[in-house]
Chains A and B, each alone.
Chain A
Amino acid sequence: MIRRKKMLGIVIGRDEVRMVEMVLTSKNRFYITKYATLELGTSVLNEGVVVDEETFANEFVRMYKENGFSARTASFGIDNQTTILRFATFPKVEQSKQRNLILLNSQEHIPTPLSELELDYVPLREVEEEEGTFVNILLCAVNKKTIQQIIDVSKLVPLSLTAISPIQISFANAMLSKVTENSFLAVRMGRKSVHHIVFEDNHIEFIRHVNLNTETITTISALIRGEKVPFSDIDSIKKQFVNSINASINYYNLKSKKDINHIYLSGVSSVYRQISEGLEEELQSDVNLVRLFEPDGKLGASPPEEYDGCISLVLDSVR
């Protein structure tokens, strides 16, 4: 039980920022008061890296004020390739010593000096080996400068931050709360990128972030707007979509010797409606479409699926 709380979920994408303002009435009940997207362009935000700090800060504050947002607490998500995600295995030690052991020995798994990164991790599953018990870990790191830029821009509003996390973690949480299957591939399609997350016995086993090319982004945007798109463009999107999923499945199969029989799709439904025909045959799996969140439309706004990441961030921060 939480008291009525207003919060922002903000996702920093490749060259855009999405913001959703939610009112939480209980742990899992909420409604959306406002949502907006700020397209910044690559001269300001390029692949998640802030190029022009001043413009980024000014535009962020303008977006907040002009759209009438009023929440003072926010949770940020990073939906671009500035996030470093690495799977690693560490010996299991006492709970109190585990964190220090992982943080001190993470350098060998991460190509960037740890002194330049903000680092955290997710414990996944324990594995019994001949040498003893090990813990599979998902290391998450982001450049300190990027984190500081987010903190600085938040102070201008001002906002109090509860968390900054990779968006894949929030999607994983949202998928696990929606899907009853224990082992499956979750595919999340956004306007500009696609996430693949493989779950085995409800644990994350594999994560992949695929950036979409400019032509595909243009076609997807046209489909979202409800415009007519040539069949060849839709066919091209479908081929890219199927190929990237098959590539992930094959990689996972090669690494773990396990098959994937269930695929759950979430994200822009207007695209799925166009490419869904014959998808099960091409992916050789049971394919289902999942709507991650259904905000209370009677009380507030009902934004499209591309804002699911923002919603998921807020729900994670209060759970």
Chain B
Amino acid sequence: MYTVNLLPESYIRERRNQRIKNRVIYGLLILVVLTLVIYRFLIQLENHQVEQYNSILQANVSLEKTIQSFSDPDTSLADVTEIDSIIGEIMGSQVDYVQMMVMISNSAPDDILISFLSMSNVDGNESCIINASALNYESINEWISALSEIDGLGTITFSYLASGEAPIGGNMPDESSQENIINRMNFEFRIAFD
């Protein structure tokens, strides 16, 4: 293909320079627009994050209020600590209180009514107090004999309380036996553990 161009060199140069200038101007314009878009995006992002932060802050305040509205946890904690210490003591003891209680209860003759049974450990002295009632002395003797055969039980101290009184607590006799209540003897055993 033949090419001829009679445009003066100065015009061609000027046109080329103008084209470069235009490209630079367009480039700068695009850059400015891009910067504005990025700036706007960052502002939006910041606003979003500030909103998120405020929302979290509000949730935090609300949670704090909720926690404060609950009762003081120190009291419950003290109770729990005490219970925990008692359990610890029981666990540390050589006497199996549960088994011992079962064995004592099972050794009682049929006419014996247990109204109170307590096991305690005061300053390392482990003992058991039993309040009960019986129809006659034979039953009490029988029970003492049975108790003395249980391993781990030491001295048994007998105390006579009164007769003809209804037992405090324990199993209530049925209606047919109501007449026997007035004839019952109340007594107390203090048993030491070996």
Contact = CB atoms under 8 A, between A and B. Distances in A.
Contact of B8 (A78, A118, A122, A165): A118
Interface string B137-162: 00000000000000000000000000
B11 A122 contact: no
B15 interface: yes
Contacts of B8: 118, 144, 147, 151
A164 B3 contact: no
Contacts of B11: 151, 161
Interface string B27-61: 00000000000000000000000000000000000
A101 interface: no
Interface in A144-173: 144, 147, 151, 160-161, 163-166, 169, 172-173
B70 interface: no
B15 A169 contact: no
Interface string A160-204: 110111100100110010000000000000000000000000001
A164 B2 contact: no
A142 interface: yes
A126 interface: no
A147 B4 CA distance: 14
B6 interface: yes
B122 to A, nearest CB: 104
A140 B6 contact: yes
A319 interface: yes
Q: Is the interface of B mostly helix, strand, loop or mixed?
A: loop
Nearest to B9: A118
A215 interface: no
B: interface residue count bin: 10 to 19
Contact of B5 (A141, A164, A173): A164
A316 interface: yes
Contacts of A316: 1, 3
A165 B1 contact: no
A60 interface: no
Interface string A237-259: 00000000000000000000000
B6 A122 contact: no
Contact of A161 (B1, B2, B3, B7): B7
Nearest to A161: B7
A122 B4 CA distance: 7
Given A151-B11, A160-B15, A173 B2 contact: yes
Interface in B101-140: none
Given A160-B15, A161-B11, A118 B3 contact: no
13 contacts: A78-B6, A118-B8, A120-B4, A121-B4, A144-B8, A147-B7, A147-B8, A151-B7, A163-B4, A163-B7, A164-B6, A165-B4, A316-B3
Identify the 4 closest CB pairs spanning chains A and B, nearest first.
A165-B4, A118-B6, A163-B5, A164-B6
